[in-house]
Amino acid sequence: MKAIETKNLSKKFGELYAVKNVSLDIEKGKIFGLLGPNGAGKSTIMKMLSTLMLPTSGSIKVLGHDIKTSKQKIRSLISLVSDYTVLEDDLTPIENLEMFAEISNVKNYSKKVKDLIEDFGLGIYKGKLTKYLSSGNKQKLNIARALIKEPKILLLDEPTNAIDVETSRFIREYIIEENVKSEMTILISSHYIWEVEQLATEVGVIINGNIIIKEKTNDLINKFNSMFGIYELTFKKEKFENVLNNLKKQKDILTIKPITKEKIIIEVSNKDFNIKDMNLRKITPSLEDIYSYIVKNKKVK
């Protein structure tokens, strides 16, 4: 069953399209990663899916419910975590969860609140006002609040932006646990491409409001691995300048990235690329390599 289904989804502000003709199918129980530069339309899509914003045209269905006729039902099925989901600073973490549980008509929520506070390591702050929490703990509370109503779909818009490494790791592990335990469908957007690669089984790339590629993560990596090559070159450090100058003359090379005085990573358009008398080792492209290529070329060949 499709958890999220959009057809020709568009949002226009004046004469400018923030999102244009986006068609997405996300299967129930999957983790889907949405990638794109700032201003590409990721947050606008999240807002439309959560009913905070209505589309200019096109359709949205959430677990079979149409946004035009079942807005309240969709709100009961979806939780959104983002910079624009605001916590109440003058309430404690427990009070924040209790208030959101009341608003969401959650029954018998006391145990759920207690469990989430403990799960997210917020027990020592339960009597403290939220405004005094660190940004990492506020984000933990934000996600806990989103989970209090046990949503079928969780929308995460930059969930680990500007928080510490330990908290980011905790959030990633918790997301995976929730997905496995309850088959919750998760849509995540992030600037951290490696994070999406760890979490998502399928990804879409949006540029200028258009989805230009949507594919299973592993299939996408395999596809690009057959299209072009990424190589690691190693050499003696005294040869660095000569090697670099030689590489700059090669027409098949797309990017040159010096790592150390003894190592350079290159991306080439010819998967059978070779340079005489150089120690080359082919590397499988990461999702970040692929994303950079797509954004740079604005297309997939």
pLDDT tens, residue by residue, 20-40: 999 999 999 999 999 999 899
2-216 has which CATH code?
Answer: 3.40.50.300
Closest by alpha carbon to 233, among 189, 274, 164, 281?
Answer: 281
* Residue-averaged pLDDT of the chain: 92
Quick one: pLDDT at residue 300?
52
Q: pLDDT band at residue 228, thresholds of 50, 70 and 90?
A: confident
The answer to whether the CB of 75 falls within 8 A of the CB of 105 is no
Quick one: pLDDT at residue 298?
66
Give the torsion sign (CA, 69, 73, 75, 77).
negative
Quick one: pLDDT at residue 83?
80
Query: Residue type for 154, please?
Result: L
The answer to whether the CB of 203 falls within 8 A of the CB of 288 is no
Burial class (CB in 10 A: 0-12, 13-18, 19+), 258: middle
Residues 160, 165, 168, CA angle at the centre, nearest 5°?
A: 35
Cα 45 to Cα 34: distance, rounded to the nearest angstrom: 10
CA torsion, ordered 265, 266, 267, 270, to nearest 10 deg:
-130
Count of all residues that appear for the chain in the document: 301
Q: Could you tell me the two tokens for 269? A: 């358009």
Q: Could you tell me the two tokens for 258? A: 């010096």
Question: Which has the higher per-residue pLDDT, 163 or 260?
Answer: 260
Residue carrying the six token digits 């005489």: 276
The answer to whether the CB of 34 falls within 8 A of the CB of 12 is no
Residue carrying the six token digits 């082919």: 282
Q: pLDDT band at residue 256, thresholds of 50, 70 and 90?
A: very high
Query: Residue type for 22, please?
Result: V
- Which sequence spans correspond to the domains of the chain? 2-216, 229-284
Write the pLDDT tens digit of every residue in 3-17. Answer: 999 999 999 999 999
Q: pLDDT band at residue 128, thresholds of 50, 70 and 90?
A: very high
N-term to C-term CA, the chain: 31
- pLDDT for 277 beyond 90: no
Give DSSP secondary structure letters for 109-133.
Answer: -HHHHHHHHHHTT-GGGTTS-GGGS
Cα 71 to Cα 54: distance, rounded to the nearest angstrom: 10
Write the pLDDT tens digit of every residue in 105-117. Answer: 999 999 999 999 9
Quick one: pLDDT at residue 301?
44
Tell me what the mean pLDDT of segment 227-256 comes to: 88
Give percent of the chain with pLDDT exceeding 70.
Answer: 97
Closest by alpha carbon to 241, among 256, 257, 261?
Answer: 261
The answer to whether the CB of 149 falls within 8 A of the CB of 106 is yes
Q: Could you tell me the two tokens for 18? A: 């923030």
Write the pLDDT tens digit of every residue in 175-217. Answer: 999 999 999 999 999 888 999 999 999 999 999 999 999 999 9
Phi, psi dihedrals of residue 8, rounded to the nearest 5°: 50, 40
Tell me what the mean pLDDT of segment 221-244 comes to: 88
Write the pLDDT tens digit of every residue in 138-183. Answer: 999 999 999 999 999 999 999 988 788 999 999 999 999 999 999 9
Name residue 5's beta-bridge partners: 25, 61
Residues 99, 100, 105, CA angle at the centre, nearest 5°?
A: 100
Return all residues near 70 (Cβ < 8 A) that are at least 6 apart: none
**Reported pTM:** 0.89
Question: Which has the higher per-residue pLDDT, 142 or 224?
Answer: 142
Quick one: pLDDT at residue 271?
64
Quick one: pLDDT at residue 105?
95
The answer to whether the CB of 184 falls within 8 A of the CB of 153 is yes
Write the pLDDT tens digit of every residue in 51-66. Answer: 999 999 999 999 999 9
- pLDDT for 299 beyond 60: no
